Structure 1
């Protein structure tokens, strides 16, 4: 049973995501659109499964939902902070800097989520991943302490992603 399920749904969360996105794109929830969304959500991951040989074997959906809530909160707060910087520092210089974040993450999916999180948060941009995948270069709009930024990213985001992608 498990083997057949894994063959049919090699990426079950992707199946659900694709079905939900399909329904949202249609603009209304009907039985036909839901069934078609599930069909698409089943066929697309199955057809592309061969190109995902190193997919994460474990994924904690509950922790990911908590992570998403944290990121949304951080985006909201960072928007206010960046607006404040723009409005109040017209004549003073920003303390922009580059920060190298050493990565403990090894999963490409987890590293992608981390880089996306950093880029989505106003005031920071993920600029480059080292060729060995062990560090991420991040540009910070304004910080007096680059080490504190590095430590915050590692503690606030990377540590949580290590618990999500097992």
Structure 2
């Protein structure tokens, strides 16, 4: 977490030095700060961990945006066609996430994608109940949610 603060500080210093506070300039400053931290502090374990997590975070953002677009297209297709392909249902999803923060992030990302909605977490925090709009193949739904959870946990742990 401290490395992220340093990276933002370097990005803000870049913006101040250039005198142009724009999103693109802030992004350039963030990338330059990332490179500087990567070279200058590569032997410190905290910074080395941060440097390795940033590309994973960027890949996760790309992955989640593609999942979001595909889910939106599927729901839009179902809404616009005269026949409905929905087969709603509720599944019990066993969680690998253990902390409240991990469970919250996983549940919110599931709820953000159209066609799925996190309903409840069991009292022992081991099962997440999810309403699924397209429950054609429960194994496939389970695998896709498990893949999402594993990508989130890869970033958080």
Q: Show the counterpart of 2:96.
A: 104
Alpha-carbon deviation of 1:109?
A: 2.3
**Corresponding residue number in structure 2 for 1:163:** 154
TM-fit CA distance, 1:62: 2.5
Give the alignment of 1:1-150 within 5 angstroms: 13=4, 16=8, 29=21, 60-88=53-81, 90-92=82-84, 94-150=86-142
C-alpha displacement at 1:13, in angstroms? 3.8
Q: How many residues matched? A: 122
Structure number with higher relative contact order (C-alpha < 8 Å, ≥ 6 residues apart): 1
**Hey, what's the Cα distance between the residues in 2 that align with 1:147 and 1:108?**
26
Aligned CA-pair RMSD: 2.9
SS in 2 for 1:127: strand
Unmatched runs of 5 consecutive residues or more in structure 2? 13-19, 27-48
Give the TM-score of the pair, scaled to structure 2. Answer: 0.64
- Cα distance in 1 between the residues matched to 2:149 and 2:66: 16
**CA shift at 1:12, angstroms?**
5.4
